[in-house]
């Protein structure tokens, strides 16, 4: 099994932290700052110019939760995530 790709939201947050740190320490003209900035802009562009949304903490962005039950034909039953559907 391959490791899941880290999602854009996590990476974006990491980049914002890094950028803020570099800014606070007067390193905004460094190559590191520029590459981190470019990467964060690229992530935003992939998301239609917006910072990526946080995945739902309850279902992880799946939109449904495993109810633990199975249908008579053996498929797992998922219920709509209460956190997502509350919006
Ligand atoms: Zn959810």
Using one digit for the tens of pLDDT, what is the confidence trace for 37-58? 999 999 999 989 989 888 888 8
Q: Is the pLDDT score of 19 beyond 60?
A: yes
Domain that holds residue 26: 1-53
In sequence order, which residues have a C-beta less than 8 Å from that of residue 62 and are 6 or more positions away?
56, 81
Q: Are residues 39 and 1 in the same domain?
A: yes
Cα(65) to ligand 1 centroid in Å equals 8
Q: Do 14 and 8 touch, CB atoms closer than 8 A?
A: no
Q: Is the pLDDT score of 63 beyond 80?
A: yes
Cα(22) to ligand 1 centroid in Å equals 34
Q: Are residues 40 and 63 in the same domain?
A: no
Mean pLDDT for the chain overall: 88
Q: Are residues 46 and 61 in the same domain?
A: no
Q: Are residues 41 and 13 in the same domain?
A: yes
Q: Which whole number is the average pLDDT over 18-29?
A: 97
pLDDT at position 5, please? Answer: 53
Q: How many domains are contained in the chain?
A: 2
Q: Are residues 45 and 61 in the same domain?
A: no
Cα(31) to ligand 1 centroid in Å equals 38
Q: Is the pLDDT score of 15 beyond 90?
A: yes
Predicted TM-score of the model (pTM): 0.61
Residues, Cβ < 5 Å to ion ligand 1: 56, 58-59, 81, 83-84
């Amino acid at each position: 099994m391959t490791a899941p790709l880290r999602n854009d939201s996590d990476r974006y947050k990491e980049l914002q932290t890094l950028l803020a740190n570099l800014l606070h320490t007067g390193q905004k003209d460094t190559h590191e700052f520029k590459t981190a900035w470019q990467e964060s802009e690229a992530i935003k562009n992939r998301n239609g110019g917006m910072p990526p949304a946080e995945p739902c903490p309850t279902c992880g962005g799946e939109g449904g939760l495993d109810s633990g039950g199975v249908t008579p034909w053996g498929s797992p039953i998922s219920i709509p995530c209460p956190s997502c559907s509350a919006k």
